[in-house]
């Protein structure tokens, strides 16, 4: 895609999701999003230096970032609603849930997988000080909002949620079961499961020779707060063949 095509399509998309913003706001956001694509950085200085007039671009970016009429959460919701409309009614979706962190800023992101790529669908930002002992609650609130509001018109059976081991929380798994969602979530090897009548760490379960994967069926997961889950184990070889 050449730069002219990208600029045109980007401005059409920004205008579509920012229907309440006036023309100058829409153009400013389009310009800076376009620069992010080419500069591959969110540093304000780096973005401003891409324009001919650094000082004017810096002031313009500051006005956009501090504009109270542009609400980041509502912008993310508008993006999600517009994005999800592009999918056929019966197309299956793989949703990825992940945390990304930069300094004190933490971003909880739900993305849609396309082959080996993931395109962000919806996100919420948090500061480190706000996450202490509240991360699990924020994740549950995020999931409820995502599926009960933004994806409420989509059939749950079309969606498979995938997440890393930081999301293997019993309360979240209960919520996903109550919502009728299919999910594949990694968990830590230190967690315990009830197998053969005794609680054992996942990392201590024996493998048979070169076995790569196995299904343990329904088991009790997490000794401190037991929950029945379907457990499957997989492993890969390292560069040394181990």
Query: What pLDDT was estimated at residue 2?
Result: 56
Residue closest to 125 by CA, chosen among 75, 184, 161, 83: 75
Query: What pLDDT was estimated at residue 93?
Result: 87
Does residue 10 sit in the same domain as residue 102? Answer: no
Does residue 100 sit in the same domain as residue 65? Answer: no
Does residue 102 sit in the same domain as residue 173? Answer: yes
Give the residue from 171, 186, 201 where a domain finishes.
186
Q: For the chain, what percent of residues have pLDDT higher than 70?
A: 96
pLDDT band at 8 (very low <50, low <70, confident <90, very high): confident
Model confidence pLDDT, tens digit, residues 175-224? 999 999 999 999 988 899 998 889 999 888 888 777 888 888 899 999 99
Does residue 14 sit in the same domain as residue 115? Answer: no
Q: What are phi and psi of 240, to 5 degrees?
A: -90, 5
Does residue 192 sit in the same domain as residue 138? Answer: no
In this prediction, residues 136-160 reach a mean pLDDT of: 91
Q: Which of residues 19 and 30 earns the better pLDDT score? A: 30
Does residue 141 sit in the same domain as residue 91? Answer: yes
Does residue 120 sit in the same domain as residue 155? Answer: yes
Rounded distance between C-alpha atoms, residue 107 and residue 109, angstroms:
6
61 touches 43 (CB < 8 A): no
Beta bridge partners of 111: 96, 120
173 touches 227 (CB < 8 A): yes
pTM summary value: 0.79
Does residue 168 sit in the same domain as residue 139? Answer: yes
DSSP states along 24-54: HHHHHHHHHHHHHHHH----HHHHHHTSS-H
Helices 170-178 and 135-145: crossing angle in degrees, nearest 10, is: 20
Question: Scanning the structure block, which residue is given the tokens 């933004």?
Answer: 150
Query: What pLDDT was estimated at residue 94?
Result: 92
Does residue 14 sit in the same domain as residue 62? Answer: yes
Does residue 104 sit in the same domain as residue 51? Answer: no
- Domain extent for 100: 72-186
Does residue 78 sit in the same domain as residue 180? Answer: yes
Give the residue from 51, 70, 89 where a domain finishes.
70
Does residue 180 sit in the same domain as residue 102? Answer: yes
Model confidence pLDDT, tens digit, residues 49-102? 888 888 888 888 888 777 777 777 888 888 888 888 777 666 788 999 999 887
Domain count, the chain: 3
């Amino acid at each position: 895609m050449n730069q002219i095509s990208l600029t045109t399509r980007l401005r059409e998309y920004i205008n579509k999701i920012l229907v309440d913003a006036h023309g100058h706001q829409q153009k400013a956001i389009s310009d800076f999003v376009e620069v992010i694509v080419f500069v591959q950085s969110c540093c304000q200085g780096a973005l401003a230096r891409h324009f001919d007039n650094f000082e004017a671009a810096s002031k313009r970016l500051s006005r956009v970032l501090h504009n109270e009429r542009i609400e980041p959460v509502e912008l993310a919701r508008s993006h999600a609603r517009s994005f999800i409309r592009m999918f056929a009614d019966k197309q299956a979706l793989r949703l990825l849930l992940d945390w990304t962190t930069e300094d004190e800023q933490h971003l909880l992101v739900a993305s849609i997988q396309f082959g080996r790529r993931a395109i962000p669908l919806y996100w919420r930002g948090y500061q480190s000080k706000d996450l202490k002992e509240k991360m699990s609650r924020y994740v549950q609130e995020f999931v409820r909002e995502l599926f009960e509001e933004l994806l409420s018109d989509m059939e749950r059976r079309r969606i498979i949620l995938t997440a890393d081991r930081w999301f293997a929380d019993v309360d979240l798994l209960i919520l996903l079961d109550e919502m009728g969602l299919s999910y594949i979530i990694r968990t830590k090897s230190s967690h315990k499961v009830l197998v053969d009548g005794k609680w054992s760490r996942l990392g201590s379960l024996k493998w048979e020779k070169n076995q790569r994967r196995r299904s343990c069926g329904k088991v009790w997961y997490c000794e401190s707060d037991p929950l029945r889950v379907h457990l499957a184990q997989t492993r890969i070889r390292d560069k040394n063949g181990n």
